[in-house]
Amino acid sequence: MIEFKNLEYQKEYKELAQFFLDDGDYTFIKNEDRLEFYSQNYHDEILISENFNNEKSNLKESIYKLLENYTKMKLPWGILVGVNPIKKFRKILNKNNDKSFDILSNKYLIDKSKIDLGLEVKKTQDPIFENIKDKTSIYIDIPFCATRCSYCAYPTYRLDDNLITDYIKALEKEVQESLNRGLEISSIYIGGGTPSSIGWRNLEKVIKLVESYNSEKTEFTVEIGRPDTIDKNILDVLKYYFVDRISINPQTMNDKTLKSISRAHTSEDIKRAFFMAREMEFNNINMDLIMELPGEISEDFKHSLFEISKLDPESLTIHALSLKKSSEIRLNGVDKKFGDNFSKIRDEFINLTDYVPYYLYRQKNINPFLENIGYSKPGYESIYNIAMMEDINNIIGFGISSTTKILQKNGLKKHMNHRNIKDYIENIDKDIKDKLILMEELY
C-alpha cells in the first residue's frame, strides 16, 4: 500500500511511485517545505522541489528523487506518467522551443534516448496534423473473439450467433441515428476484439453501416487480427468495400508462446494469412508484436522481429506487455519485470529498417523502461492512430466501451458507451441521446 499524508492525493503520484516500488507498505508525508518517505526500516526526506510553477509537478519531482535514492533506479521517462508523453513534448516545444531539450532533461528528468524518440515521433506527426486537424474519425468496436488471450483485459465475448445478431442491430441503430452525412471523415477504424471472427456476412453488415462515409481521402482500417479468422471471403469483403488498411496481429512468432497465451494458430498460419492478403493486393498491412510475453526471453523477441522482417509489412506496432488486473496472466501471478534488453533489441532492429516511429503511448502496469510504439514506412502512418492519441480529430465511437471525443472551444468533451454488452444493447437509446447532445456543435 502506498499512502500520502498532508498532501492532496493525486493519482499521478501513485502511478509514479508504482513504477519504482514492489508490493509493500510505503508512506509519503509532506511536512511544510519537506517531503518524507518511509518504508520498513527506511526513512529519507528531501526539500520539495521549486523547479515548476505548480505544486503537483514539484511534488512529483520530489517523489521521484526520494525513490531514486531508495531503489537506485532511474526511470527513462522521468517524472512523466499518463498515456501520452508526446502531448507534453508538444506543449513544451510550443512554449520554449530553444530551451525544450534542457527542460525535458533537467526538469522532467527524461533520458536523452526518450527525448530523441519523442521528438522524432513529433516530427513525423507534424505534417499529418495539418491535413487532419479538426476533421472527424469513426471507430466501431466488435467485441468478439474466438478465444480470449491470456494477457487481455478488454471486454470481449465468445462467439454466439444470437448475441452477435443483437449486437449488430444495436450498432446499426446507433450509427444511423448518430452520424450526419455532412461530416468530413478522415479515417474509419473497425477494431475490437477480432472483427473478422464474426464471419464475412456479419462483417459486411458492419462495414455497410459506414461505407457511404468512405472516400478516396479516407483511411479505412479493419483489424482482422488473428489469422485463424482470416480467409478469402473475409478479404473479398474488405476489398469490395475499399478497405485500404488491415491489421494482422501475431503478437509473437513463437509457436510455444502462441499456445501458452491461448491463441489457436501457429506462426505458419500468420504467414499464410499475410501472403493471402498480399496476393489480393492489400498493400497497407500493419502487424503487432508484444514484448515480454510470459516465458519469452529477449532472443524469442529477436526471432519474432526477424520473421516479421521477412514479411515486410508497411507498419509494425510494438507493444510492452501490460499486466492488466483482470487478465489471466495477472491473476495467475505473473509479476512485473525490470530491464531494457527488449527495448535495445527493438531499437537495433528498427535502426536497420526504413520504419519511423509515428505514434507512441504508455499504459499502466508496463515495464517502466518500455512503451508502445507504432512504426511505419514513410507515407503509411495510420491517420486514426495519430488522431486518437493526439486529440486533433473528433472521434465518434460506436459499440461497447467506445469513446466519443469532441473538440470544443472550452476543451475536449467525452462520452463512453456502456462496457457490458447486455447493458449496451438495453441502453442504446440513452447512449445515442447522450452522444447527440455532446455532438451538437458538429451538426
What is the model's pLDDT at position 365?
Answer: 83
Hey, how many other C-beta atoms are within 10 angstroms of the C-beta on 380?
Answer: 18
pLDDT of residue 69: 96
Q: Tens digits of per-residue pLDDT, 389-400?
A: 999 999 999 999
**pLDDT tens string 62-71:** 999 999 999 9
Look at residue 189 and give its three-state secondary structure.
Answer: strand
In a domain, 425, yes or no: no
> Cβ atoms within 10 A of the Cβ of 31, count?
12
Q: How far apart are CA 289 and CA 75, in angstroms?
A: 23
Domain housing 56: 2-84
Whether the predicted pLDDT of 428 surpasses 70:
yes
Domain boundary among 84, 118, 147: 84
Q: What is the pLDDT of residue 153?
A: 78
Question: Are residues 80 and 131 both part of a single domain?
Answer: no
Query: Is 161 found in the same domain as 56?
Result: no
Instruction: Identify whether 101 is part of a domain.
Output: no
Are residues 22 and 138 part of one domain?
Answer: no
Q: What is the pLDDT of residue 340?
A: 59
Residue 20 CB neighbours (<10 A) = 18
Res. 273: pLDDT tops 80: yes
What CA–CA distance (Å, rounded) separates 33 from 393? 42
Contacts of 443 (CB under 8 A, 6+ apart): 180, 182
Residues 162 and 266 in one domain: yes
Kindly state the average pLDDT of the residues 196-208.
97
How large is the average pLDDT for residues 425-443?
Answer: 88
In a domain, 406, yes or no: no
Check whether 366 has a pLDDT greater than 60.
Answer: yes
Q: pLDDT band for position 232 (50/70/90)?
A: very high
Across residues 419-438, what is the average pLDDT?
Answer: 94
Residue 189 within a domain: yes
Whole-number pLDDT of residue 119 = 94
Residue 336 predicted with pLDDT over 70: no
Same domain? For 161 and 18 the reply is no
Rounded to 5°, angle at Cα 299 from 312 and 329:
95
With beta carbons less than 8 A apart as the criterion, state whether 115 and 106 touch.
Answer: no
Mean pLDDT of 206-215: 94
pLDDT in tens, 136-179: 999 999 999 988 888 887 878 899 999 999 999 999 999 999 99
Taking residue 139's Cβ as centre, other Cβ atoms within 10 Å add up to 22
Q: What percent of the chain clears pLDDT 90, i.e. is strictly above it?
A: 77
In a domain, 414, yes or no: no
| CB atoms near residue 181 (< 10 Å) | 7
Mean pLDDT of 398-412: 91
Q: What confidence category does residue 182 fall into, taking pLDDT thresholds of 50, 70 and 90?
A: confident
Considering the domain architecture, whether residues 36 and 182 belong to the same structural domain is answered as: no
User: Quick one: average pLDDT of 267-293?
Assistant: 97
CATH code at 161?
3.80.30.20
Q: Are 277 and 164 within one domain?
A: yes
* pLDDT given at position 334: 67
pLDDT mean across residues, the chain: 92
Q: Which residue has the higher pLDDT, 22 or 306?
A: 306
Q: Residues 125-140: what's their mean pLDDT?
A: 91
Say if residue 376 is in the same domain as residue 234: yes
Task: Give the domain-ending residue among 33, 68, 84.
Answer: 84
**pLDDT at position 443, please?**
63
**Domain stop point among 28, 57, 84:** 84
Q: 453501416: which residue's cell?
A: 209
Tell whether 434 is covered by a domain. Answer: no
Predicted pLDDT of residue 417: 95
**Are residues 180 and 70 part of one domain?**
no
What distance in Å separates the CA atoms of residue 12 and residue 56, rounded to the nearest whole number?
Answer: 9
Share of the chain above pLDDT 70, in %: 98
By mean pLDDT, which of 121-125, 247-251, 337-341, 394-398 is the weakest? Answer: 337-341
pLDDT surpassing 90 at residue 46: yes
Does 320 fall in a domain? yes
Residues 326 and 390 in one domain: yes
Instruction: Classify residue 376: in a domain, yes or no.
Output: yes
Is there a single domain that holds both residue 42 and residue 140? no
- pLDDT greater than 90 at residue 359: yes
Residues 56 and 137 placed together within one structural domain of the fold: no
DSSP for 126-151 reads HHHHHHHTT-EEEEEEE-B-SS--TT
Q: pLDDT (tens digit, 9 = 90+) per residue, 92-120?
A: 988 777 789 999 999 999 999 999 999 99
Q: Say how many domains are in the chain.
A: 2
Task: Flag whether pLDDT at 371 surpasses 90.
Answer: yes
